[in-house]
Structure 1
Amino acid sequence: MTDQDRGRDQDQDVVITGMGVVTPNAGSVESFWEANLTGRSGLSYERRMDLSQLPCGWVAGIIPDGIKKSVEERAGVPGRSWTDMLLHATVDEALRDARVEGPLDRPAGLLWSRVSPGPSGTFPEDYVAYMKTVAARYKELGDDRAATLERLRAERAERTDRSTTEPSESTTFPHSVAQRLGTPLITMGLEATCAGGLRAIAEAARLLRTGRIGLAVVAASVSRNTHYVLSQYGQLMALSRWKGAAEQASMPFDSRRSGMVINESSAALVLETAEHARRRGVDTVHAVVEGWGLAVDISHVTAPRIDTVERVVRGALAHAGVSPDDIDTVNAHGTSTRLNDITEARALHRVFGKRMKEIDVCAVKSLTGHGSAASGVVESTVAALTLCRGVVPPVVTCTEPDPKCDVKTSLRPVERPVDTVLKNSFGFGGQYASMVFRRPPNPRRAPATSGSEHVGAEH
């Protein structure tokens, strides 16, 4: 390949130019990165409801009042649900980070995922009310598009004066993003459970590579800490049964792990081609989306399969054009469940073999808990910052590593050159996704006010 060909290929690289995050332990990207490096947890005991009759699930990742107030101040308007506030807050941060100012001169893409059908979408009565509303509207209006649109507008106006937790399939989020960007949007709502975040990134990259859009916004948010959800996961015995300090409840790859911790969180990314970013005057980026592997395996609704995890990891490597020897670190799915962690670890051993002894592994859910579809986008921000900053975050809750997993985690940040990160996300319903991110030739530097010296300490 000539230098000219290589330059042309780099022009078409799909790059991340903006990021936004709200999690239980941080209200912005930089504070989230600091939390990951210092081991600041966002987990606490759920005191808002009586969970005494549940067999597990007493700890949750709850966005604290201070961060919640900030989100409401930035993104709260009458009639807007909390889930939409989270989406707007993180999209706004990502667009500012990417220095995007509307109106854009080309169509854009919006790939987003949130719990559906309603702002909460997590009570059984939500789904009943939702389906009754849709059925009644269709019975009255049929296929009349104009009348249906007018009815939706009227319903939205009526909800403005009522509780913002009422179920509805409609949201002003895509319309608001289109107004902000000042351009038509190609929109896609994704429901792929815990793999939804990475799938949304992959779909955005596909759209960008077709040339149909100049820029894409990927966003996901979730707020599902309700008694119903905790009860359903509790019946599956999927939630943590830890009764000690709350910040220790999520412990990926630790021999004491007893289940995952559910959280509320949101994240957004701005993606575009390197050429498009450069034409906008953006000369530094966070990461290159190099390749991905996706699969749906219907063999079991909740239990992951080692061979399918292996297949999507190998698929991501092949799509990225890299070998197992090229991967420097793994940003794991790491849910802290007995089955998921060992399945992911064994699949990684199949792919990387003896190299697993030297591949640093981080697991963001150790500090945040599990944010369903939002987790893939949230954790991709950590993957991107790992590439730009050359630091692999620790897994501070993995103090008794499980020898059956045998992955290399650390109790302190590990400083090392990182050119490639493998990111995994797997979910209920047999959803699997794996993605390779590469360090860009022009990585975004840390703000002058952040950063400190870290000494690596590994198990």
Structure 2
Amino acid sequence: MNGQIVITGMGVVTPIGATVESFWEANLAGRSGVVPEDRMDVTGLPCGWVAGIIPEEVKEDIKARHGAPDRSWGDTLMHDAVDQALTDARFSGRPDGPAGLVWARVWPGPSGSFPQDYARHMTDLAVRQREVGNEPAAVLRHLRGRSLPLEVGDLSAFPREISERLGTPVVPARLEATCSGGLRAIAEAVRMLRSGRVEFAVVSAAVSRNTPYVLSQYGQLMALSRWKGDPGQSSMPFDRRRSGMVINESAGALVLETAEHAARRGVDRVHAVVGGWGLAVDTAHITAPRVEMIERVMRTAIEESGTTPDGIDTVNAHGTSTRLNDVTEARALHRVFGERMAELPVSAVKSLTGHGSAASGVVESVAAALTLCRGVVPPVVTCTEPDPACDVRTSPTPLRQPVRTVLKNSFGFGGQYASMVFLRPERPRPAPAADPA
């Protein structure tokens, strides 16, 4: 394993499971976490009547473990996922050096994109400008003794808190890369590890943006599902009936290490090896993906991982359930894999969880790692009428087969594209033993 970057710990909080094993079991069972949006009045919206929501009893448990008066819900979710990942990595004691920390969340403020977040921030700036202008010393005197309200704070205590949890300094990096942010965070952590600055890194992302403002934004784009049947069927990637995505609240975390560092800790069974990745930013259109860019990042990820398109065993798709994204991703897949698309299994986690922005890339990478270790490709139970314009091979039931490589895709608004290949380790982490009856 010399020179490899391996995943030794994983944690998730999602609408279908708040532990890795419950999340995986729900994936294989095809159990949806998409339910009617009953936390606000959505009757006047043209879409967005459902959401992927973490059950209330789970939220209360997480708040009891990780909540704090000045800690946002997004940071609380990340703390829970990180704690799971560190426990899963069998982390105990203090790392023998600084640790990397790469995390993704949305500005302004940890509370999400409420319009009052912007209004409060801009009002404060206007008051300061009127009272003291821009002279640095005067601004300093104005700000001294004042604390930014939680909803407009661009920073959080998250990196300091993780440093305290690890017992070592962290080399922090925060990303803002919309829905590709999860994979980009993993890539940034791998760069840190390969640079030699750290041998141990934590990656985390969270989203909780189910607010009237966010729903109205997506409603204007008509990007959200307009399905009026069973809520669990609302997110249907690659199905001809798909009408838009479903947004969710979720968090994911990974522990990445050099293989040598893991071995020194006595960890010889790991979840996955990070192969290669492709990243791109395209300014052609702020929301519409392009086939050429998706093809480029997939080919780059495959090449950098040292394999070929014939060496990819399955694809963990971005699969948002929007009319444009699914067919664009599918066309790019056909360009890369050609005739193999008839036999290449494709999974789409968002069919059950909905879309968690940057958190999706981390959460779905957990699913990719489990696919490698367990030899099971999750089903896409909501794709019951496959769209011939997509022509991808999804299954209504789990597919059990040897899996050596998984290609994972994530794309986002602003022309963000990311693709990554995960490899099966020589000694994969086995499933936990079943509890005796």
TM-score range, shorter chain: over 0.9
Per the TM alignment, residue 102 of structure 1 is displaced from its structure 2 partner at its CA by 3.5
Alpha-carbon shift at residue 392 of structure 1 (Å): 0.3
TM-score, normalised by the number of residues in structure 1: 0.90
Residues 386 and 151 of structure 1, relative CA distance in 2, 3 Å threshold: farther
Q: How does 1:395-434 map to 2 (within 5 A)?
A: 395-434=380-419
CA-CA distance at 1:111 after TM superposition: 0.4
Cα distance in structure 1, aligned partners of 2:157 and 2:220: 35
Counterpart residue number, 1:6 = none
- Identify which of 152, 155, 160 aligns with 2:147: 155
- Rounded to whole Å, the distance in 2 between the matches of 1:32 and 1:434 is 22
User: Is 1:204 paired with 2:189?
Assistant: yes
Displacement after TM superposition at 1:45 (Å): 0.7
Distance of 2:258 and 2:95 partners within structure 1: 15
CA contact (8 A) 1:26 1:67 kept: no
Instruction: Find out whether 1:251 has 2:242 as its counterpart.
Output: no
The alignment status of 1:292 with 2:310, answered yes or no, reads no
Secondary structure of the 1:21 match is strand
**1:137 Cα deviation from its structure 2 partner:** 7.4
1 CA distance for matches of 2:268 and 2:127?
52
Separation (CA, whole Å) in 2 of partners of 1:419 and 1:386? 9
**Aligned partner of 1:116 among 107, 124, 127:** 107
Question: What is the letter of the counterpart of residue 304 of structure 1?
Answer: P
Shift of 1:167: 2.9
1:430 maps to a residue whose letter is G
Give the counterpart of 1:58 among 49, 53, 56: 49
Q: What does 1:365-384 align with in structure 2 at a 5 Å threshold?
A: 365-384=350-369
> Where do 1:68-79 residues align within 5 Å?
68-79=59-70
Query: How far does the alpha carbon of each residue in 1:28-64 deviate from its partner, in whole angstroms, 9 at most, with x for none?
Result: 1110000100011100010111111111111111111
Structure-1 separation of matches of 2:64 and 2:135: 40
Pairing partner for 1:222 from 198, 207, 214: 207
Residue 93 of structure 1 aligns to which amino acid in structure 2?
Q
Deviation at 1:121, TM superposition (A): 2.9
**Aligned-pair CA distance for 1:143:** 6.1
Aligned: 1:127 with 2:85: no
What's the TM-score, normalizing by structure 2?
0.95
Structure 2 gap ranges (5+): none
Equivalent in the alignment of 1:453 = none
Give 1:314 shift: 0.4
1:310 matched to 2:301:
no
Q: Any conservation in 2 of the 1:130–1:169 contact (CA below 8 Å)?
A: no
TM-fit CA distance, 1:142:
6.8
Shift of 1:12: 1.4
Matched positions, count: 430
Q: Distance in 2 between matches of 1:363 and 1:34?
A: 15
Question: Alignment partner of 2:8: what SS?
Answer: strand
Shift of 1:128: 3.1
Three-state SS of the structure 2 residue aligned to 1:155 is: coil
Q: In the alignment, what sits opposite 1:177?
A: 162
Deviations 1:71-107 (A, max 9, x none): 1122112221111110100000001101122422211
CA deviations over 1:400-449 (Å, ceiling 9, x no partner): 00111010100110000000000000000000000000000010000012
Distance of 2:159 and 2:121 partners within structure 1: 20
Q: Distance in 2 between matches of 1:191 and 1:21?
A: 20
1:101 aligns with 2:92: yes
C-alpha contact 2:163 2:170 (8 A) present in aligned 1: yes
2:10 to 8, 12, 19: 19
8 Å CA contact 1:18, 1:271 repeated in 2: yes
Question: For residue 247 of structure 2, what is the aligned residue in structure 1?
Answer: 262
Question: Residue 246 and residue 96 in structure 1: after superposition, are their counterparts in 2 closer, same or farther (change >3 A)?
Answer: same
Which of the residues 47, 60, 70 maps onto 2:38? 47
1:31 aligns with 2:22: yes
How big is the shift at 1:120? 2.0
Q: Which of 361, 366, 371 is 2:346 aligned to?
A: 361
Contact 2:112 2:208 (C-alpha < 8 Å) held by counterparts: no
Partner of 1:3: none
CA distance in 1, matches of 2:199, 2:122: 36
* Alpha-carbon distance between aligned partners in 1 of 2:30 and 2:429, rounded to the nearest angstrom: 23
SS at match of 2:396: strand
Separation in 2, partners of 1:133, 1:295: 36
Change (3 A) 1:134 1:436: farther
Q: Secondary structure at the match of 2:204?
A: strand
State the SS of the aligned residue for 1:410.
coil
Q: Which digits, 9 at most, give the CA deviation of each residue in 1:319-363, with x for residues without a partner? A: 111100000000000000000000000000000000011111000
2-structure distance, mates of 1:137, 1:188: 29
The alpha-carbon distance between structure 1 residues 50 and 420, as it changes in their structure 2 partners (threshold 3 A), is: same
Are the structure 2 counterparts of residues 151 and 16 from structure 1 closer, same or farther at C-alpha, using a change threshold of 3 Å? farther
Counterparts of 2:144 and 2:107, CA distance in 1? 20
Task: Give 2:244's aligned amino acid.
Answer: G
Contact 2:374/2:430 (<8 A) preserved: yes
Please point out which of 333, 336, 350 is paired with 1:348: 333
Cα distance between partner residues in 2 of 1:443 and 1:74: 30
Counterpart AA for 2:50: V
SS at match of 1:103: coil
1:214 positional shift: 1.4
Q: Which runs of 4+ in 1 moved over 4 A?
A: 131-144
Letter in 1 for 2:392: V
Q: Secondary structure of the equivalent of 1:421?
A: strand
Task: Give identity over the alignment, percent.
Answer: 67
Distance 1:337 1:281, change over 3 A: same
Structure 1 residue ranges without an equivalent (≥5): 1-9, 451-459
Distance between the aligned counterparts of 2:122 and 2:419, measured in 1? 34
Distance 2:87 2:304 in 1: 31
What is the aligned partner in structure 1 of residue 74 from structure 2?
A: 83
SS at match of 1:385: helix
